Amino acid sequence: MEVTEGGVTVEVEDARDGASEGRADEVFYNPKMELNRDVTVAVLRAYADHEPRAETYFDAMAASGVRATRAAAEGWDVTAADIDADAVELAARNLAPYDGEAVEGDANALLHEGFFDVVDVDPYGSPMPFVDSAVAGTRNLLCVTATDTAPLCGAHFEAGVRRYDTLPRNTEYHPEMGLRVLIGALVRRAATRDKAALPVCSHVSRHYARTYLELEANATDATATLENLGFVHHCQDCLERDHEYGRLPDAPESCPYCDSARVVTAGPIWLGPIADADFAEAVGDAVSDDMGTARRAREMLDTIAGELDTPTHYDQHRLCKQWGRPAVGMDEFVETLREAGYESSHAHYSGTAFKTEATVEQMREATADLA
């Protein structure tokens, strides 16, 4: 069958509702990942303006080659890889009009054989088995998707510890926890190769976390990135949370706000910005009307560009339930916090997510008249 995305028509073998398009024996084409691919194309457009010398793009798990073909249609010199011969044959047919190359082989081996300006790792499940080779083979921009959201956010705790070498915690801000666990793991792995990795754009959907990291081969800068790692101490009763930078946590025995003993510590995770605001805005501007998720992508990227850099978001519905009051419109809620003198913003993780510098008690008092 043929499908059209972003003005590019490609041949696909199957269309299923899986979580990713990572392995040929799992999913060849997944329409639910169209937002992921639309944003990828917009990132490539914005990055081409940011770094005009970047030309080569490597798709480590090409499957049907949809993402790789769309990159090739943008003028990138594309190499698409897969371990499945049928997937490679299909990707080669899709890439042929754009002079892209499809190769059969293991991504880890191929990434140790040469360098690419942009490397895209979008596997089925965790990307961590591919990260070392991906960092080694990337000159400029590393794009990574993780679809194992339960381990990332702490719902499958032991798996999260094993894969990401951290303590993930399952909280009401679990989408952001998963993203920050992922970025933290990638930054640490990059630093082992004396490369600094900084996220220039990141986002989360129901099915995955996605981040774009600009790499710089500089040991001093790599060390500096580690200063953005740290820990979050979360009270499961009053929902307050504090964060601290560093590699050794000073975990409280009880909550300093309500004295509860039910405080959990997550980390080390990434506490720095998940995106560069100017670059995220440029990515939003690069979204075109021929993209199937154009409206959603623009709204999400606009929110990301304006999102506060505080490490965790709140959910208004969860807070209002805690306070025993009805929820109100998000615009009104955020604006009320701003009028009370607290920096606040929407957050892209959900329609009821927001960020603020206020404590939970300060929020409760500032919004009391909205009830």
Taking residues 104-116, what's their average pLDDT?
95
At how many degrees (to 10) do helices 66-73 and 85-95 cross?
Answer: 20
pLDDT of residue 17: 45
pLDDT of residue 11: 92
Please state, in angstroms and rounded to a whole number, the distance separating the CA atoms of residues 18 and 32.
8
Please state, in angstroms and rounded to a whole number, the distance separating the CA atoms of residues 309 and 249.
21
pLDDT of residue 200: 98
pLDDT of residue 22: 40
How far is the CA of 174 from the CAs of 31, 91, 148, 369, in angstroms? Answer: 24, 35, 13, 29
| All structural domains of the chain with their residue ranges | 2-306, 314-370
Residue 27 has pLDDT above 50, yes or no: no
DSSP 240-274: -EEEEESSS----SS-TTT--S-EEEEEEEE-S-S
- Residue 141 sits at the vertex; the CA angle it makes with 136 and 147, to the nearest 5 degrees, is 85
Listed residue (328, 344, 310) closest to 232, CA to CA: 310
Provide Rg for the chain, Cα atoms: 21
pLDDT of residue 30: 85
Q: Pairing relation of β-strands 77-82 and 101-104?
A: parallel
Please state, in angstroms and rounded to a whole number, the distance separating the CA atoms of residues 210 and 202.
6
Taking residues 290-307, what's their average pLDDT?
98
305-344 pLDDT, tens per residue? Answer: 999 999 999 999 999 999 999 999 999 999 999 999 999 9
Distance of CA 347 to the CA centre of its chain: 14
3-class state of residue 312 by DSSP: coil
CATH of 2-306, one of 3.40.50.150, 3.90.79.10, 3.40.50.2000, 2.40.110.10: 3.40.50.150
**Among the listed ranges 18-32, 215-229, 281-295, 311-325, which one has the minimum average pLDDT value?**
18-32
Residue 26 has pLDDT above 90, yes or no: no
Judge contact between 316 and 354, C-beta under 8 A.
yes
219 residue type, one letter: A
Looking at per-residue pLDDT, the higher value among 89 and 15 belongs to 89
pLDDT of residue 14: 59
Contacts of 38 (CB under 8 A, 6+ apart): 5, 6, 287, 291, 292, 293, 294, 297
190-219 pLDDT, tens per residue? Answer: 999 999 999 999 999 988 999 999 999 999
pLDDT of residue 1: 86
CATH fold, domain 314-370, is Phenylalanyl-tRNA Synthetase; Chain B, domain 1 (3.30.56)
